[in-house]
Structure 1
Amino acid sequence: MSQVLPEPLFGDDFFAPAAPRWSTTLGVFDLETTGVDVETDRIVTAHVGVLDASGTVTRQRSWMADPGVDIPEGATAVHGITTAFARANGLPSPQVVAEIVTELRAIFAAGIPVVAYNAPYDFSLLKYESLRHGIEPILAPSPVIDPLVVDKTFDRYRRGKRTLDAVAAHYDVLLEAAHTAADDAIAAGRVAQAIAARYADRLPFSEHELHTRQISWARAQAESLTEYFIKVGRLEPTETLDGAWPIR
């Protein structure tokens, strides 16, 4: 009599590589601001939080600041906050900046990496806001994970935009309200986790090694984009894009 063999105990994922250590607990950070100049523009809203391995929010704080300057119409069109609304409902800018810095320092001190999409923008603007208000800045944030840099490295030739909403859609991450600090921060963290799952066999297991590698990846990406912009006439041959990461 023939013997019926049992079904395999494990599916195809049994030999799948483990997700990198850094993806199991992630800090998340995002700013919405008065503009795109990191040295002169101001924070309007901000979010700092922590996600667990499933992408669930386990800790979070959000802020609205009165930036102390008018919010340009172009910025309002992006994030929806007017000058009048921020003045009526926002906290004093120095208080907001100090509390953001304190929250981020606590997350880094706990050994948790912080995800920021296009990290040099958020961390640099926070640095200059800190200096403006006499607050000790975070000058060397680490470890940081930037899904924009990592996605460009591992899927370099994919066509289409690399905005957060486009990249979130690519990785099947829900982003309900783009350009709100909380939703953007949380979506960026979940994108980082999706990237970790997809490229688990190729990504560094340690958050510190990943941080170090992103420094060189970001520099290479800036050099490549500089060459392209010179070729199409968007930059002069003597100009270069700043590839410093995660802060400028």
Structure 2
Amino acid sequence: MSWHTDPMLALDTESTGIDIETVRVVSAAVIHVSRDGAIPTTWLSDVDGQEIPAEASAVHGISTEHARAHGRPAKAVTDEVVSALRDAVSVGLPIVGHNVVYDLSLIDREARRHLGHGLGDALPLDEMRVIDTRVLDQHVLPRRRRVSPTQGPRQLITVAAVYSLAWDEEAAHGSEYDALMAARVAYRIGSLIEMPREQRPQFELGRYQQFEQLRGLDINELHARQVVMAKEQAAGLQAHFRKTDPQAVVDGRWPLIPFAGTAVTA
């Protein structure tokens, strides 16, 4: 028995951009995943009447017009997403996602904007356990090259292929699909961690594998290890970027980037 066989809550958001301090949640999904199946809850926000940039719409397929016509008030969506996370933490369900530090930090900013408080005021962050498939994948398979000039080695589509998971491009990049795929990747990585190396299918794994380093960990130990791994991975990426940009900074705080300001504007 290992953490990957226990129930978990998969999380994903789609947003208006990439800057967690300014962008808005467009859609969100949480999926309760267990041996009995997957139970999704999804939200579409009206983004407070904000514009959804064309480049963001091109990724998740949600236009400004659609969000305004069919989305619910952003405050209500934020409150319900935060409540879902609080309920999960209260019963010990870990939160799983791909690069989930982005999603949790974005939800924190939306909570500050609409509810007047951050995630740390809504739930006990020290009790929250997180499984981040991007952090785990980069650790267990540290030397994987880009598969194409436009597709990075740690994108969810790439990670899914590496672990032999089918990818539906038409459904992809929606919050529900991406949350479920992250849960499936987490299960696959967990299975490979506990599998003896000689039994492990090689497919795209290659020579450089570090699955054994995470073997036998419970969810508390795995969470703690990811805090360290995320910091180390960010430091390595920052060093790489500084070869061309001496001022480059990569934030390695995980699983939530603390809010540094005094207020988030509506």
Residue 192 (structure 2) aligned to one of 198, 203, 209 = 198
RMSD: 1.5
Shift of the 137–175 alpha-carbon distance from structure 1 to 2, 3 Å rule, reads: farther
2:119 corresponds in structure 1 to: 138
Q: How many residues align?
A: 225
1:173 corresponds in structure 2 to: 165
Deviations 1:86-142 (A, max 9, x none): 000000000000000001111111111110210221011100000001254323372
Is residue 77 of structure 1 aligned with residue 71 of structure 2? no
Query: Using the alignment, how far apart are the partners of 2:165 and 2:178 within structure 1?
Result: 11
Query: Residue 246 of structure 1 aligns to a residue in which SS?
Result: coil
Give the 5 Å matches for 1:90-105: 90-105=71-86
Whether the aligned pair in 1 keeps the contact of 2:129 and 2:220 (CA below 8 Å) is yes
For 2:251, the aligned partner's letter is: D
Residue 184 (structure 1) aligned to one of 174, 178, 182 = 178
Query: Residue 105 of structure 2 aligns to a residue in which SS?
Result: helix
Q: Among the aligned pairs, what percent are the same residue?
A: 36
Shift of 1:52: 1.3
Query: Using the alignment, how far apart are the partners of 2:56 and 2:3 within structure 1?
Result: 37
Whether the aligned pair in 1 keeps the contact of 2:133 and 2:186 (CA below 8 Å) is yes
Is residue 43 of structure 1 aligned with residue 37 of structure 2? no
TM-score (ref. length: structure 1): 0.86
Query: Using the alignment, how far apart are the partners of 2:166 and 2:129 within structure 1?
Result: 25
TM-score (ref. length: structure 2): 0.81
- Structure 2 residue ranges without an equivalent (≥5): 147-152, 196-211, 258-266
Whether the aligned pair in 1 keeps the contact of 2:9 and 2:94 (CA below 8 Å) is yes
Shift of 1:241: 1.1
Shift of 1:22: 4.4
Larger Rg: 1
Whether the aligned pair in 2 keeps the contact of 1:98 and 1:135 (CA below 8 Å) is no
Whether the aligned pair in 2 keeps the contact of 1:218 and 1:243 (CA below 8 Å) is yes
Query: Using the alignment, how far apart are the partners of 1:169 and 1:104 within structure 2?
Result: 29
For 1:52, the aligned partner's letter is: S
Whether the aligned pair in 2 keeps the contact of 1:22 and 1:205 (CA below 8 Å) is no
Whether the aligned pair in 2 keeps the contact of 1:63 and 1:96 (CA below 8 Å) is yes
Query: Using the alignment, how far apart are the partners of 1:216 and 1:53 within structure 2?
Result: 30
Deviations 1:11-39 (A, max 9, x none): xxxxxxx5x23432111000000000101
2:43 corresponds in structure 1 to: 63
Is residue 244 of structure 1 aligned with residue 253 of structure 2? yes
Query: Using the alignment, how far apart are the partners of 2:116 and 2:194 within structure 1?
Result: 39
Query: Using the alignment, how far apart are the partners of 2:104 and 2:80 within structure 1?
Result: 14
Give the 5 Å matches for 1:101-120: 101-120=82-101
Query: Residue 45 of structure 2 aligns to a residue in which SS?
Result: strand
Shift of 1:174: 2.9
Query: Using the alignment, how far apart are the partners of 1:151 and 1:21 within structure 2?
Result: 16
Is residue 30 of structure 1 aligned with residue 15 of structure 2? no
- Structure 1 residue ranges without an equivalent (≥5): 1-17
